[in-house]
Amino acid sequence: MFKHILVPTDGSELSSSTVSRAIEFAKEAGARITFFFAQQEYPIPLYGEGALLVPVTPDQFVDATKKEAERILALARAEAEKAGVASNSDTSVSDLPYEAIIEAAKTHGCDLIFMASHGRKGVAGFLLGSETQKVLTHTTVPVLVYR
Protein backbone atom coordinates (compact mmCIF):
# COMPACT_ATOMS: atom_id res chain seq x y z
CA MET A 1 0.00 0.00 0.00
CA PHE A 2 2.62 2.55 1.05
CA LYS A 3 5.84 2.68 -0.96
CA HIS A 4 7.69 5.78 0.26
CA ILE A 5 7.47 6.99 3.86
CA LEU A 6 8.66 10.32 5.25
CA VAL A 7 9.87 9.98 8.84
CA PRO A 8 10.56 13.32 10.55
CA THR A 9 13.01 13.03 13.42
CA ASP A 10 14.55 15.42 15.92
CA GLY A 11 16.79 12.99 17.79
CA SER A 12 14.68 12.95 20.95
CA GLU A 13 13.99 9.67 22.75
CA LEU A 14 10.41 9.57 21.44
CA SER A 15 11.56 10.42 17.94
CA SER A 16 14.23 7.70 18.02
CA SER A 17 11.60 5.17 19.11
CA THR A 18 9.43 6.33 16.21
CA VAL A 19 12.32 5.86 13.78
CA SER A 20 12.69 2.25 14.95
CA ARG A 21 8.98 1.55 14.60
CA ALA A 22 8.83 3.25 11.19
CA ILE A 23 11.67 1.02 9.99
CA GLU A 24 9.75 -2.08 11.12
CA PHE A 25 6.62 -0.77 9.40
CA ALA A 26 8.52 0.00 6.17
CA LYS A 27 10.10 -3.44 6.18
CA GLU A 28 6.70 -5.11 6.56
CA ALA A 29 5.21 -2.91 3.82
CA GLY A 30 8.18 -3.22 1.45
CA ALA A 31 8.53 0.57 1.49
CA ARG A 32 11.51 2.87 1.48
CA ILE A 33 12.06 5.75 3.91
CA THR A 34 13.18 9.34 3.68
CA PHE A 35 14.27 10.55 7.11
CA PHE A 36 13.80 14.29 7.60
CA PHE A 37 15.17 16.82 10.08
CA ALA A 38 13.78 20.38 10.23
CA GLN A 39 16.60 22.68 11.32
CA GLN A 40 15.70 25.75 13.34
CA GLU A 41 16.48 29.17 12.00
CA TYR A 42 18.85 31.39 13.95
CA PRO A 43 16.84 32.94 16.81
CA ILE A 44 16.31 36.67 16.62
CA PRO A 45 17.91 38.24 19.68
CA LEU A 46 15.65 40.33 21.88
CA TYR A 47 16.88 43.26 23.90
CA GLY A 48 15.60 44.87 27.06
CA GLU A 49 13.68 43.20 29.86
CA GLY A 50 13.38 39.47 29.27
CA ALA A 51 16.22 39.60 26.76
CA LEU A 52 17.25 36.54 24.84
CA LEU A 53 20.99 36.44 24.45
CA VAL A 54 22.33 34.17 21.75
CA PRO A 55 25.92 33.17 22.66
CA VAL A 56 26.85 32.10 19.12
CA THR A 57 27.11 33.84 15.79
CA PRO A 58 24.62 33.03 13.02
CA ASP A 59 27.33 31.07 11.15
CA GLN A 60 28.20 29.04 14.26
CA PHE A 61 24.51 28.33 14.83
CA VAL A 62 24.00 27.16 11.22
CA ASP A 63 27.09 24.93 11.40
CA ALA A 64 26.02 23.40 14.72
CA THR A 65 22.45 22.68 13.63
CA LYS A 66 23.63 21.26 10.30
CA LYS A 67 26.06 18.91 12.09
CA GLU A 68 23.34 17.85 14.53
CA ALA A 69 20.96 17.14 11.64
CA GLU A 70 23.63 15.11 9.83
CA ARG A 71 24.38 13.12 13.00
CA ILE A 72 20.73 12.31 13.72
CA LEU A 73 19.95 11.43 10.10
CA ALA A 74 23.06 9.23 9.81
CA LEU A 75 21.94 7.24 12.87
CA ALA A 76 18.48 6.73 11.36
CA ARG A 77 19.91 5.66 7.98
CA ALA A 78 22.31 3.24 9.67
CA GLU A 79 19.45 1.64 11.61
CA ALA A 80 17.41 1.29 8.39
CA GLU A 81 20.38 -0.20 6.55
CA LYS A 82 20.90 -2.73 9.34
CA ALA A 83 17.23 -3.75 8.98
CA GLY A 84 17.54 -4.00 5.19
CA VAL A 85 15.25 -1.03 4.49
CA ALA A 86 16.20 1.37 1.70
CA SER A 87 16.48 4.93 2.95
CA ASN A 88 17.79 8.39 2.28
CA SER A 89 17.57 11.63 4.21
CA ASP A 90 16.97 15.32 3.84
CA THR A 91 17.03 18.43 5.97
CA SER A 92 15.94 22.02 5.57
CA VAL A 93 15.91 25.19 7.64
CA SER A 94 12.54 26.52 8.74
CA ASP A 95 10.92 28.40 11.61
CA LEU A 96 7.81 26.32 10.93
CA PRO A 97 8.78 22.65 11.13
CA TYR A 98 5.33 21.41 10.14
CA GLU A 99 5.55 23.30 6.84
CA ALA A 100 9.03 21.89 6.20
CA ILE A 101 7.74 18.36 6.89
CA ILE A 102 4.82 18.76 4.49
CA GLU A 103 7.10 20.25 1.82
CA ALA A 104 9.60 17.40 2.22
CA ALA A 105 6.82 14.83 1.78
CA LYS A 106 5.76 16.56 -1.46
CA THR A 107 9.31 17.04 -2.74
CA HIS A 108 10.23 13.38 -2.20
CA GLY A 109 6.91 12.00 -3.45
CA CYS A 110 6.10 10.31 -0.15
CA ASP A 111 2.74 8.60 0.19
CA LEU A 112 2.81 8.48 4.02
CA ILE A 113 4.19 10.63 6.83
CA PHE A 114 5.06 8.50 9.88
CA MET A 115 5.66 10.70 12.91
CA ALA A 116 5.60 10.85 16.68
CA SER A 117 3.17 12.55 18.97
CA HIS A 118 4.17 13.67 22.45
CA GLY A 119 0.60 13.04 23.56
CA ARG A 120 0.10 16.36 25.34
CA LYS A 121 -3.52 16.88 26.28
CA GLY A 122 -5.69 19.68 27.52
CA VAL A 123 -4.23 23.10 28.12
CA ALA A 124 -0.61 21.96 27.65
CA GLY A 125 -1.38 20.55 24.22
CA PHE A 126 -3.34 23.65 23.25
CA LEU A 127 -0.77 26.16 24.48
CA LEU A 128 2.35 24.35 23.32
CA GLY A 129 0.83 23.32 20.04
CA SER A 130 1.87 20.22 18.22
CA GLU A 131 3.87 19.88 15.05
CA THR A 132 2.07 16.59 14.50
CA GLN A 133 -1.32 18.26 14.86
CA LYS A 134 -0.27 21.00 12.45
CA VAL A 135 0.90 18.43 9.91
CA LEU A 136 -2.39 16.54 10.28
CA THR A 137 -4.34 19.76 9.77
CA HIS A 138 -2.44 21.06 6.73
CA THR A 139 -1.28 18.08 4.66
CA THR A 140 -3.04 16.03 2.03
CA VAL A 141 -0.58 13.15 2.55
CA PRO A 142 -1.81 10.42 4.95
CA VAL A 143 -0.20 10.61 8.39
CA LEU A 144 0.42 7.71 10.75
CA VAL A 145 0.89 8.99 14.30
CA TYR A 146 3.01 6.83 16.59
CA ARG A 147 2.84 7.17 20.39
What is the value of pTM for the model shown?
A: 0.88
DSSP states of the chain: ---EEEEE--SSHHHHHHHHHHHHHHHHHT-EEEEEEEEPPPPPPB-STT-B---S-HHHHHHHHHHHHHHHHHHHHHHHHHHT--EEEEEEE-S-HHHHHHHHHHHTT-SEEEEE-----HHHHHHH--HHHHHHHH-SS-EEEE-
pLDDT at 127 over 50: no
How do residues 72-115 score in pLDDT, each as one tens digit?
999 999 999 999 999 999 999 998 999 999 999 999 999 999 99
